[in-house]
Chain A
């Protein structure tokens, strides 16, 4: 187990370095930072001054070295908009997004596993058909569309729920509800498929020959084996929640990292943008590592 973690960590570390490099080149490739960071009407002298101030005239390699140093020390520059360290601004917003993603994914995962497993157990039956149809539709609905429909319905017409903000529990219901639908649809389908093959496997036959009841057969024998592909998809969906909540956050005025990014881009606060990308990437990255550990936890064959 330990050697597995070590091996996996080394591989991850390489990727992490690659990630940091990519972020740097992204920030340089996409144009002259001076014209990006400064207002459009900035004069040539101002740009020149800016370049000198930030060492943008140095060789690229020197700039890169400085950038890596900054990243390692956690200095990602100031937010022009808020006059605070960009990292602080980002971590604050990221905490909101993280909670949103965490709550949504916990709900999605538990619901999808139960629904998918039961659908697989009686595949072709009534429950399976309903579940399959609903999950297919769920996986096909664009979240931004759902968000505005939900606002019209629940906030405007029925006036049950607030449209935006984070003040109370009620504020969380719509964003979570909207973010829930697509991952739920996708994961139910994967759980169902994976469970159908697990339930037709030889070891389930053995369990039936032992006289084990249906409940334990589904949720103990088959589920743990069926979880491997499911976990991959859960990881993908969680990742797309971490970065894809951008639309839903914008619509619901939720102060997460997605909304922060959009606002910062529109107001040319690029230190914040780069910090946000780095933080989100790091989070997705850690999550992928966590997913790999889950594999090893679930399947002893990976551990050994």
Chain B
């Protein structure tokens, strides 16, 4: 049998936790060769990152424990190596990049110092390491590498930080690169660039790449083969095309079906009563212009999706409309009144009509309140909506409406899963019987399969109750099956505004086209065609 570069056999890892021993991965095996890219695909809690942590010796023991298995690197078992031999492997033969490069770079040392250290640790003299670090920074596309050496991580943008991480990882031309969700925190256009860079460097160095991701699009874009993990077990493996076209395990099938962007698009009617009319809204934070004159109309009973990358001003717009921030100029006409001119007393009354669902339900629900308290707080604040005697009954009703059980009333948020928590947040918003709900990235913190369910729920509510939605997202495919109108924003301006069909099928503006081109399709064939077009 030919030796693989990396060969993981029957690996099992468990952790001691508050609720007993958790088997994080159970008996998983996979292998990887030089020049090849293997993706480990899984949702949160699938244990997809655990095996890579075992490869890198990053599992804290205790509370972790490797209960069985071997990890061979070029035929040598990493798990039986002496600690100093193991340390020699790290950084030199295997390197790793992580999600969220900001927290993974040491905040108090310069970028140059950190890249240099990757080399001096393994014996390179300081001058040579310095020269190499500058060259690497240039190679990964950091402008003015010489000056960048003396900067600190917080002085770079998210995409640049990930490039710095890549430069640091590839300093010693490793045989194997492990990338743990390397593009998850990045904007779509940046994500495409980073993945392309990884591919290019892989070709240059000839390393094997192990990429860990929850995103079928990333798999389709970069991987040759894929293994799918669910709850610590490896449920399916094969080439990317094979697995996508012909998934065998029910979980894989569910995952593929949940990928957004395949349903029937809304027609995007533009007639009807105008609910909210926004004109020339501007907002500055100091010298930074977050909104530079934004105008649009929202029809009653419709969903307007606002799509843009970080810094586009989409969240600022939401905050301004809800009067969480004050705009510098502009109007927002709601029921014949300008929202921005309302007195505090009137704003208080406005809250009943205008509600919001936040990005991360873990943070938007007060951890010390029960579900009942969370939902009924609306009526504590607005006592005229519902007499106290009817609260319990109504909370039960609302919970059922969002797909939860009335028994959940006495539980606390941390006892629920992410998707369930977002349902609680939606129930809370519904308690005030609003006319418009603004969803700020309301599904982006959720797993793909849960995303689809939450979006389905929102669409159902819209059909049943006639609530309008402003749905803010950074990713176009997410809004495709849900929006009537789509508004694309960039740097505080509206780039393009149109019906969902027009935006997806005939985008007029180059930026919209670039966004569409950069968003990754889960189908490897479609993605290959994308790549061919780009090249």
Complex: A in contact with B (CB within 8 Å): yes
Q: Which residues of B contact A203 (CB under 8 A)?
A: 103-107
B87 on the interface (CB 8 Å rule)? yes
Please determine whether B104 and A202 come into contact, CB atoms closer than 8 angstroms.
yes
A68 CA / B103 CA spacing, docked (Å): 50
Please name the residue on chain A nearest to B107 by beta carbon. Answer: A301
Taken residue by residue from 205 to 216, chain A's Cβ proximity to chain B (1 for < 8 Å, 0 otherwise) reads as 111111111001
A16 CB, nearest partner CB in chain B, Å: 30
**With the chains together, A211 CA to B104 CA distance in Å?**
15
Contacts A200-B60, A304-B155; A299 near B108 (Cβ below 8 A): yes
Q: Is the CB of A300 within 8 A of B104?
A: no
Contact B108 A298 (CB under 8 A): yes
Contact A202 B103 (CB under 8 A): yes
Which A residues are CB-close (under 8 A) to B87? 211-213
Shortest beta-carbon distance from B318 to chain A in Å: 28
A201-B103, A202-B100, A300-B152 known; A210-B108 Cβ under 8 A: no
A200 vs B60: C-alpha distance when bound (angstroms): 9
Instruction: Write the B197-240 contact mask toward A (1 if CB under 8 angstroms, else 0).
Output: 00000000000000000000000000000000000000000000
Chain B residues whose CB sits within 8 angstroms of the CB of A209 once the complex forms: 56, 58, 90-91, 95-96
Q: Mark B72-100, 1 if CB is under 8 A from A, else 0.
A: 00000000000000011111100110101
> Any chain B CB within 8 A of the CB of A35?
no
Per-residue CB contact flags for chain B residues 47-83 toward chain A (1 = under 8 Å, else 0) read: 0000000001110100000000000000000000000
Q: Taking the complex as formed, is B154 at the interface, i.e. its CB lies under 8 A from any CB of chain A?
A: yes
A211 contacts which chain B residues (CB < 8 A)? Answer: 87-92, 121-122
Contact A300/B105 with A211-B90, A211-B121 known, Cβ cut-off 8 Å:
no
Q: Is A8 an interface position by the 8 A CB rule?
A: no
Contacts of B96 in A (CB 8 A): 206, 209
B98 adjacent to A202 (CB under 8 Å): yes
- Whether a CB of chain A sits under 8 angstroms from the CB of B32 is no
B56 touches A300 (CB 8 A): no
Q: In the bound complex, how far is the Cα of B154 from the Cα of A203, in angstroms?
A: 13
B120 to chain A, nearest CB (A): 10
CB distance from B108 to the nearest CB of A (A): 5
Separation of A33 and B92 alpha carbons in the complex (Å)? 76
Q: Is B118 an interface residue (CB 8 A)?
A: yes
Instruction: With both chains docked as a complex, state the minimum distance between the C-beta of B106 and any C-beta of chain A, in angstroms.
Output: 4
Within 8 A of B (CB), among A184-240: 200-203, 205-213, 216, 221, 224-225
**In the complex, what's the smallest C-beta–C-beta distance from A216 to chain B, in angstroms?**
8
Identify the interface centre among A201, A205, A206, A212: most chain B CB within 10 Å of its CB: A206
Contact check, B121 vs A206: say whether CB atoms are below 8 A apart. no
In the complex the two chains form, is B104's CB within 8 Å of A205's CB?
yes
Q: Is B168 a contact of A210 with CB atoms below 8 Å? A: yes
Please state if B154 and A208 are interface contacts (CB–CB under 8 Å).
no
Kindly identify which residue among A205, A213, A224 contacts B98, using a CB–CB cutoff of 8 Å: A205
CB distance from B88 to the nearest CB of A (A): 6
Say whether B117 contacts A225, CB under 8 Å. no
Contacts of A298 in B (CB 8 A): 108
Complex: A210 Cα to B133 Cα, angstroms: 14
For A40-75 the 0/1 string (1 means CB < 8 A from B) is 000000000000000000000000000000000000
Q: How large is the interface on B (under 10, 10 to 19, 20 to 34, 35 or more residues)?
A: 20 to 34
Q: Would you call A210 and B98 a contact (CB within 8 A)? A: no
Give the one of B56, B87, B106 with max A CB within 10 A: B106
Number of interface residues of A (CB under 8 A): 22
Closest Cβ of chain A to B162, distance in Å, is 12
Give Cα A219–Cα B165 distance, bound, in whole angstroms.
22
In the complex, what residues of A have CB within 8 A of residue B121's CB? 210-213, 216
Q: Which of B58, B89, B122, B154 contacts A205 (CB 8 A)?
A: B58
Residues of B within 8 Å of A299, CB to CB, are 107-108
Measured in the bound complex, the distance between the Cα atoms of B120 and A216 in whole Å is 12
Task: Report the bound CA distance from A202 to B92 in whole Å.
Answer: 20
Q: In whole angstroms, what is the CA distance A69 to B95 when docked? A: 67
Closest Cβ neighbor of B154 among chain A residues:
A301
B103 engages A210 (CB within 8 Å) = no
Residue of B with least CB distance to A298: B108
In Å, the complex CA distance between A301 and B165 comes to 19
B107 touches A225 (CB 8 A): yes
- Interface mask (B102-129 → A, CB under 8 Å = 1, otherwise 0): 0111111100000001100110000000
B271 to chain A, nearest CB (A): 51
Residues of chain A lying within 8 A (CB to CB) of residue B95: 209-210
Bound CA–CA A273/B96 (angstroms): 63
Q: Are A304 and B154 in contact (CB-based, < 8 A)?
A: yes
Q: What distance in Å separates the Cβ of A197 from its nearest Cβ neighbour in chain B?
A: 12
Complex contact A207–B106 (CB within 8 A): yes
Q: Which of A211, A212, A299 has the most CB of B within 10 A?
A: A211
* B165, closest chain A residue (CB): A206
Q: Is the CB of B89 within 8 A of A300?
A: no
Residues on A with C-beta less than 8 A from B105 are 203, 206
Cβ of B154: which chain A residues have Cβ within 8 Å of it? 300-301, 304
- List A contacts of B91 (CB < 8 A): 209-212
**Cα–Cα distance between A142 and B118 once the two chains are bound (Å):** 48
Across the two chains, which residue of chain B brings its CB closest to A206?
Answer: B104
Q: How far is the CA of A266 from the CA of B422 in the complex (A)?
A: 68
CB proximity of B511 to chain A, nearest CB, Å? 31
CB-defined contacts of A201 to chain B, threshold 8 Å: 103
Give the nearest-CB partner of A300 in chain B: B152
The docked-state distance in angstroms from the alpha carbon of A301 to that of B152 is 8
Q: Considering only CB atoms, which chain B residue lies closest to A213 in the complex?
A: B87
Separation of A201 and B90 alpha carbons in the complex (Å): 18
Chain A positions 102 through 118: 1 when the CB is less than 8 Å from some CB of chain B, otherwise 0 = 00000000000000000
Instruction: Take A202-B103, A225-B108, A301-B152 as given contacts and tell me if A208 and B90 are in contact as well, using a CB distance cutoff of 8 Å.
Output: yes
What is the interface of chain B, defined by CB distance below 8 A to chain A?
56-58, 60, 87-92, 95-96, 98, 100, 103-109, 117-118, 121-122, 152, 154-155, 165, 168
A210-B95, A211-B91 provided; 15 other pairs, C-beta below 8 A? Answer: A202-B98, A203-B104, A206-B96, A206-B98, A206-B104, A206-B165, A209-B90, A210-B90, A210-B117, A216-B117, A299-B107, A299-B108, A300-B154, A301-B154, A304-B152
Q: What are 27 A-to-B residue pairs whose CB atoms are below 8 Å?
A: A202-B103, A203-B104, A203-B105, A203-B106, A203-B107, A206-B98, A207-B106, A208-B56, A208-B58, A209-B58, A209-B90, A209-B96, A210-B90, A210-B95, A210-B118, A210-B121, A211-B87, A211-B91, A211-B121, A211-B122, A212-B91, A212-B121, A216-B117, A298-B108, A300-B107, A301-B154, A304-B152
Q: Which residues of A contact B (CB under 8 A)?
A: 200-203, 205-213, 216, 221, 224-225, 298-301, 304
Question: Which 10 A/B pairs are nearest by Cβ-Cβ distance?
Answer: A211-B91, A211-B90, A210-B91, A202-B103, A203-B106, A209-B96, A300-B152, A202-B104, A206-B104, A210-B118
